[in-house]
């Protein structure tokens, strides 16, 4: 919604044809030429308009170390799962590790831009495709419109979760006379649009996408379920969860297989971000919000090690020790959510040396300073731990890529590993929660809970939590830790945010910190009497 950005990019995009070769990785999009809408002639041209709306999903960095849009910053780091390790080294992370977030925070502005870019591109695609008579296959036309509606609904859901009410724009903007100075719609009004878009999409989209990574019926129903869960409409949540549950999804037998490079778009994945390596440089500190990029999330979380492309990671974000301790040792997810000094990583071995103190029995004293070294058969992972700010001697397994893959990359911020947005386990836990809260359906919420917990702990394990609301809350935290889409906003919708954040020494002011501030630059452009800042900022 940023005025100067919309006029230079969003409006311009209505006249911009995003042409690309339609490979399996359909998100590969390169702007090649500016053409009027009348010049869009072929099915591939129209498909490219929709492809362009998917592109912002990949955006992580927007030109500076202060302007990052990693989902984990806005959820796990802002909450109680992850800490920004180097307070003076990563400016963006430092800002999200405490409340309040300033209205002029560059990452907040970047996030706003990211989702409104997706919305504007979806609006453009819907408008042009709806008006054309050049597409002869009516089903193909409806499929394209449905994908764009799904993306618009998803983007507005991300905005309403974090900002509450926001300006609601669904028009195809054709000329510069359009009045961009819009007030906020209420959160309820935004949710009405979200549900309309997602339901329209669900009724048209296929169960299995023709091309990997595209929106499906399951993705639309899954986000309809989640949108209703956030609104506390538990009957609707159960209904849409059960729609997803009827479509053939299942859990991976092994939790860790969700993050295996050889199992992307697996049977548990409902919607995920596709990344490719070897294209556009996407440095953690200076990349651009463009397509054709690998992911640099692993660089934020990862260990430091030397490879042919340099140091592999900054290790800025680490899981809090409290989060690690939240898992029982019999929970398989613990081993495959965290890499600790005891972890045996794939294709290698565990700790190979430690320049640190030992206990009288010879075991490592993890409370001491020193340089912890982890290894595979070829590579050493290392990072110093000599400051009190170091919250845990661990990293995240979910974003780890093998050194052999790392060594083949063009640069160290170019991971090809896809990132999950929503998995079937999330749907099962939503179903379990909504059923406990009074939602009614034809399937058992307890059985949904059991599917998730038995994979984690093993059937019959006495450590499996009871099927209670607290049990579901705890399992959502354990199952989805560091995936970046719900932890903070889960705590807010449960009313648990203040207690959870204060338990790890953070501030939460009721009436302010439930939401992010509207970017100051937006208010400046639109006018403070039109676009009203969120309370407390």
The answer to whether residues 331 and 454 touch, using CB atoms and an 8 Å cutoff, is no
Query: Is residue 19 in a domain?
Result: yes
Q: Which two tokens stand for residue 120?
A: 């504007």
Query: Is residue 290 in a domain?
Result: no
Query: Is residue 330 in a domain?
Result: yes
Count other C-beta atoms under 10 Å from residue 257's C-beta: 15
Q: Is residue 22 located within the same domain as residue 143? A: yes
Q: Which of 178, 201, 224 is the endpoint of a domain? A: 201
Q: Is residue 20 located within the same domain as residue 124? A: yes
382: number of CA atoms within 13 Å, CB side? 15
Q: What is the C-alpha to C-alpha distance for residues 11 and 175, in angstroms, rounded to an integer?
A: 7
Banded model confidence at residue 146, pLDDT cuts 50, 70, 90: very high
The answer to whether residues 129 and 135 touch, using CB atoms and an 8 Å cutoff, is yes
Q: Which of 402, 421, 456 is the endpoint of a domain? A: 402
The torsion region of residue 532 among left (phi > 0), alpha (psi -120 to 50) and beta comes to: beta
Of 190-199, 312-321, 371-380, 463-472, the range with the lowest mean pLDDT is: 371-380
Contacts 24+ apart (CB under 8 A), 521-525: 521/2, 521/104, 521/109, 522/1, 522/2, 522/3, 522/109, 522/112, 523/103, 525/2, 525/3, 525/4
Angstrom CA distances, 426 to 189, 319, 362, 525, stand at: 26, 20, 42, 38
Quote the percentage of the chain above a pLDDT of 90: 62
Quote the percentage of the chain above a pLDDT of 70: 76
* For residues 504-523, average pLDDT: 97
Which pLDDT tens digit goes with each residue over 46-79? 999 999 999 999 988 876 667 889 999 999 999 9
The answer to whether residues 472 and 429 touch, using CB atoms and an 8 Å cutoff, is yes
512 exposed, middle or buried (CB, 10 Å; 0-12, 13-18, 19+)? Answer: middle
**Between residues 299 and 266, the one the model is more confident about:** 266
Q: What is the C-alpha to C-alpha distance for residues 111 and 142, in angstroms, rounded to an integer?
A: 29
pLDDT of 10 above 50: no
pLDDT of 30 above 50: no
Q: Is residue 80 located within the same domain as residue 184? A: yes
Query: Is residue 325 in a domain?
Result: yes
pLDDT score of 15 = 38
pLDDT of 310 above 70: no
Query: Is residue 473 in a domain?
Result: no
List of residues 6+ apart from 495 with CB closer than 8 A: none
List of residues 6+ apart from 494 with CB closer than 8 A: 473
pLDDT score of 428 = 99
Instruction: Round to the nearest angstrom and report the end-to-end CA distance of the chain.
Output: 19
Our count of domains for the chain comes to 2
Longest dimension (CA), the chain: 80
Query: Is residue 174 in a domain?
Result: yes
Helix (H) or strand (E) holding 493: helix 487-494
pTM (predicted TM-score): 0.88
Q: Is residue 177 located within the same domain as residue 308? A: no
Average pLDDT over all residues of the chain = 83
Which CATH number does the domain housing residue 44 bear? 1.25.40.390
Q: Is residue 53 located within the same domain as residue 195? A: yes
Of 251-255, 383-387, 516-520, the range with the lowest mean pLDDT is: 383-387
Nearest CA-CA partner of 127 in 163, 166, 169, 92? 169
Q: In b/e form, how buried is each residue of 130-153, taking b as 16+ CB within 10 angstroms?
A: eeeeebeeeeebbbbbbbbbbbbb
Length reported for the chain: 537
Q: Is residue 175 located within the same domain as residue 56? A: yes
pLDDT score of 370 = 45
* For residues 246-266, average pLDDT: 97
Q: Is residue 18 located within the same domain as residue 162? A: yes
pLDDT of 342 above 70: no
- State which of 187-196, 317-326, 397-406 shows the largest mean pLDDT: 187-196
102 exposed, middle or buried (CB, 10 Å; 0-12, 13-18, 19+)? Answer: exposed
pLDDT of 377 above 50: no
Q: Is residue 171 located within the same domain as residue 50? A: yes
Which pLDDT tens digit goes with each residue over 445-475? 999 999 999 999 999 999 999 999 999 999 9
Banded model confidence at residue 150, pLDDT cuts 50, 70, 90: very high
Q: Is residue 189 located within the same domain as residue 301? A: no
* Residues spanned by the domain of 353: 297-402
Query: Is residue 525 in a domain?
Result: no
Q: Which of 402, 431, 451 is the endpoint of a domain? A: 402
Query: Is residue 482 in a domain?
Result: no
């Amino acid at each position: 919604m940023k005025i100067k950005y919309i006029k230079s990019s969003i409006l311009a995009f209505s006249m911009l044809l995003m042409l690309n070769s339609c490979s399996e990785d359909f998100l590969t999009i390169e702007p090649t030429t500016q053409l009027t809408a009348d010049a869009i002639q072929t099915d591939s041209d129209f498909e490219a308009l929709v492809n362009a709306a998917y592109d912002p999903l990949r955006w992580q960095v927007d030109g500076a170390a202060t302007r990052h849009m990693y989902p984990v910053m806005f959820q796990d780091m802002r909450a109680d799962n992850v800490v920004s390790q180097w307070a003076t080294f990563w400016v963006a992370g430092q800002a999200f590790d405490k409340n309040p977030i300033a209205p002029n925070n560059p990452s907040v502005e970047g996030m706003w831009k990211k989702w409104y870019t997706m919305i504007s591109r979806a609006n453009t695609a819907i408008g042009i495709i709806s008006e054309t008579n050049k597409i002869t296959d009516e089903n193909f036309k409806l499929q394209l419109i449905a994908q764009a509606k799904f993306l618009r609904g998803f983007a507005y859901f991300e905005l309403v979760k974090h900002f509450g009410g926001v300006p609601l724009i669904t028009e195809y903007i054709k000329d510069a006379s359009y009045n961009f100075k819009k007030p906020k719609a209420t959160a309820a009004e935004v949710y009405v649009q979200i549900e309309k878009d997602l339901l329209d999409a669900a009724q048209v989209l296929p169960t299995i996408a023709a091309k990997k990574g595209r929106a499906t019926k399951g993705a639309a129903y899954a986000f309809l379920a989640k949108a209703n869960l956030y609104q506390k409409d538990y009957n609707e949540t159960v209904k849409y969860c059960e729609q997803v549950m009827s479509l053939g999804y299942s859990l991976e037998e092994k939790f860790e297989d969700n993050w295996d490079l050889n199992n992307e778009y697996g049977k548990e994945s409902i919607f995920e971000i596709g990344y490719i390596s070897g294209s556009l440089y996407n440095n953690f500190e200076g990349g651009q919000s463009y397509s054709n990029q690998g992911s640099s999330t692993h660089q934020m979380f990862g260990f430091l090690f030397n490879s042919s492309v340099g140091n592999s990671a900054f290790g800025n974000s680490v899981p809090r020790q409290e989060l690690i301790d939240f898992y029982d040792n019999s929970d398989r997810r613990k081993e495959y959510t965290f890499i600790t000094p005891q972890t045996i990583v794939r294709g290698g071995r565990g700790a190979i040396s430690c320049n640190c103190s030992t206990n009288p029995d010879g075991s490592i004293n993890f409370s001491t300073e020193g340089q912890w070294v982890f290894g595979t058969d070829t590579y050493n992972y290392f990072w110093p731990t000599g400051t009190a700010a170091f919250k845990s001697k661990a990293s995240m397994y979910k974003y780890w890529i093998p050194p052999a893959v790392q060594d083949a990359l063009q640069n160290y911020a170019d991971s090809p590993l896809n990132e999950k947005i929503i998995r079937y386990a999330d749907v099962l836990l939503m179903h379990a929660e909504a059923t406990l809260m009074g939602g009614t359906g034809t399937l058992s919420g307890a059985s949904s809970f059991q599917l998730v917990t038995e994979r984690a702990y093993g059937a019959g394990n006495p450590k499996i939590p009871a099927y209670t609301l607290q049990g579901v809350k705890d399992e959502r935290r354990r199952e989805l830790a560091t995936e970046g889409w719900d932890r903070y906003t889960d705590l807010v919708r449960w009313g648990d945010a203040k207690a959870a954040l204060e338990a790890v020494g953070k501030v939460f002011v009721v009436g302010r910190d439930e939401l992010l501030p509207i970017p100051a630059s937006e208010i400046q452009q639109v006018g403070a009497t039109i676009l009203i800042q969120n309370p407390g900022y």
